[in-house]
Structure 1
Amino acid sequence: MDTERVSRTVAEVQGVLTMREKLFTKHSVENMAAYRAMRRDGRITDDPFGDVFLVVDGWATVRADFDEHDETIRQIAARGLTYGIHVVLTTARWSDIHSQLRDQLGTRLELRLGDAIDSVIDMRAAQGVPKQPGRGLTPDKLHFLAAVPRIDGWQRTDDLSDAARSLAETVADSWNGRRHPGSNAARGAAKPPNFPRRKGSCGCRWDWANRTCSRSGTTSPSNRT
């Protein structure tokens, strides 16, 4: 997993949240519905984004490998929805998600579990979920069937990443409306000034914003990690 890109993404979403909080105060915005209307009418022009989604595919892995972002993501989940910033998580077990964060997740979908006793929706209903890919339970204990995100007519999943990318590119090519500016992380842009510091190869604390090593105080080439 790309450590640099993960950190940039979390920092960027946190930055959008901070910006939205200031804009809501500045324009006396009551709620997100009013904010969308004001952007649509041109009364707010200094926010290039619409609703923002932070998708974490594999929460247990992210917590294990990027523990420093755990609290930040919890804060985004707790404060973000009011400002049109959504957090979407996937996990193999509900127990992987701290109760404080779990309480912030308003919509929960549960695919078939290995053990129905792990269900937070209904253990008896979970036992009745068919042993078929994509089948699961809604919060209302109703069955759902998730579709494979591809439009090439195939049902296989071994090349799903390429198929999903192709779907996204096709949708983007077909869209004629206003486009969002995209993510700095996706574009590989420079890290924001408040990007978390990490250890350099020499064991020092590396400052990504200034491209300097705190031990030597010297600037390093831009390709140094």
Structure 2
Amino acid sequence: MKIQGSIALVTGANRGLGLAFAKALLDAGASKVYAGARDPSTVTLPGVIPIKLDVTNAQDVAAAAITCADVDIVINNAGITSPTPLLDKQDGAAALRRLLETNLHGIHAMSQAFAPVLKANGGGALVNMLSALSWLSLGTTGAYSVSKAAAWALTNSLRNELRAQGTQVLAVHAGYIDTDMVSHLDAPKSSPADIAGRTMQALAAGELEVLADDTARRVKGGFGATPSAYLATA
């Protein structure tokens, strides 16, 4: 996918990794970048076009597909997490539904709405921000891991359905990234700029999957171990 001169939309672009994606697109020569956020007034990056976009709101998604009918790159970055255990009797089920609504159904809604747009504009690219936790679960990541595993399967299925229209579907996997989402964790974290930069490289190279940091590479590499990484993790 040629980024120079492209027109892109990033969801959750007001901060963290979404903001880094928007910056990286501009730096790579994108001619226009739409920055989606639930509250567009929180988008302050010069050079982008803020739009109101809650990926769980069908009206917002439909309106974005009209407003951004010129895009040829869509980056599904918006995501949420929760430490609530899956078997928590009070909130376990509700927390899982909340995460699936954004992390899975939000990607699906955006992909469904923008697939015709990408086709009309020559194929373009769909980039889905996933996680190393698509492949394993830690003590406090049960619901998040479920949502990201489902989003990984969705991404692989979308790639099959969009292949005929020439749309590149890029899955991005990374470990902890230094954003507000994991600010409470004392663990190694990649910088948002590094993840965004590696994603731009993969996008430009026509790749279908990028293991954007050492954590993602180590986790996927551990699939061949005995026991596999996802079995060995408590």
Same fold (TM over 0.5): no
TM-score normalised by structure 2 residue count: 0.29
Which structure's CA Rg is the greater one?
1
Greater length-normalized contact order (CA 8 Å, ≥ 6 residues apart): 2
TM-score normalised by structure 1 residue count: 0.30
